[in-house]
Amino acid sequence: MDLRQLRYLDAVARARSFTAAALDLHVAQSALSQQVAKLERELGVELLRRTTRRVEVTEAGELVLARGRRALAEAEAIRADLDALHGLVRGRLRIGGVPPVSGLHPASLIAEFGRAHPGVEITIREDVAALLLDELEAARLDLVLALVAPDDTSPALTGVRLLDEELAVVAAPGHALASRKRVPHAALADEPLVAYGHGSALRHELDRLFPDGRVVAEANELATLRELVALGLGVTLMPAAVVASARDEELTVRPLHPRVRVPVSMLWRANETPTPAARAFREHVLAEVTKSS
């Protein structure tokens, strides 16, 4: 038994799929399967039950994983401690991100950090906030940037509120709302809405403000939402800074009245010592937010 086999077993158990685990680990699926099978032969037990649809962890597999994950965590901690001792920033950094909001542009932050720390292998995961936070809690991500307040997440997570972002009404230029300087909440009550999918922080806010709203389309891509709105299918709410640069002929952006602001936070697991790479990225983000404030 070695750490590589335990790491492979853990990846398959989390993904419930050999294919997905191989992609996550950047290894051939055949090599992954061989190492897991070898571990099962060495231990003399079935650790994973393969079905046509997914992979299930056996009772023996759960026992092995419980100790194996502790061993993997200790091995990572040894490397992190040694790197910290020598002032090195390297290793792996897995970030869950959101589209750009306010002065915070995740892609730019990550690119700048990568150039400054070429020894860090960075993986970026984009999805709705709820799924990203689940992956963070399950230790499949190291950090998440999301439109939620740290206090509104699981007790297993913590973080820092970086800034607040104002939401704006976005409509096609010819829409009736385009003639208003400010849009009262009541004016959106009967409007067809274009929204992010369930699980996103923006969808949660839209449902909170308009619980009886009529959603005519859902999308998780910012470009798709903007295009649907520009074509007149419906209106939506977006962080004002995301659409502030839009040309007048593409979209009309109007403030809500009364104003609505959402938090922008950086989140990580509570009661866990960060790796040097995760700590350095936290400091990088905080420095950039301070600089732009």
CATH of the domain at 65: 1.10.10.10
Identify whether residues 141 and 275 lie together within a single domain. yes
Contact 219, 225 (CB under 8 A): yes
Q: What letter would DSSP give residue 249? A: T
Number of domains in the chain: 3
148 and 200, same structural domain? no
User: Are 19 and 69 contained in the same domain?
Assistant: yes
Q: What is the pTM of this model?
A: 0.71
| Residue numbers of the domain that contains 277 | 91-163+263-292
- List the beta bridge partners of residue 55: 50
Residues 12 and 126 in one domain: no
What is the CATH classification number for the domain harbouring 153?
A: 3.40.190.10
CATH number, domain at 216?
3.40.190.290
Residues 148 and 21 in one domain: no
41-83 pLDDT, tens digit per residue, is 999 999 999 877 789 999 999 999 999 888 888 887 777 667 6
Same domain, 72 and 101: no
Q: What is the pLDDT of residues 88-100, one digit of tens each?
A: 577 789 999 866 6
Same-domain pairing of 158 and 189: no
Residue 165, judged by CB atoms within 10 A of its CB (0-12, 13-18, 19+), counts as buried
Q: Tell whether omega for the bond before 258 is within 30 degrees of 0, i.e. cis.
A: yes
Residues 219 and 205 in one domain: yes
Average pLDDT, the chain: 88
The distance from CA 39 to its chain's CA centroid, rounded to whole angstroms, is 32
CA angle 177, 181, 186 (to 5 degrees): 55
CA distance 113 to 76: 21
Pair 159, 185 in one domain: no
Q: What's the CA gap between 202 and 196, in Å, rounded?
A: 7
Contacts of 165 (CB under 8 A, 6+ apart): 101, 102, 147, 239, 240, 241, 261, 262, 263, 264
Which residue type occupies 116?
A
**Same-domain check for residues 137 and 223:** no
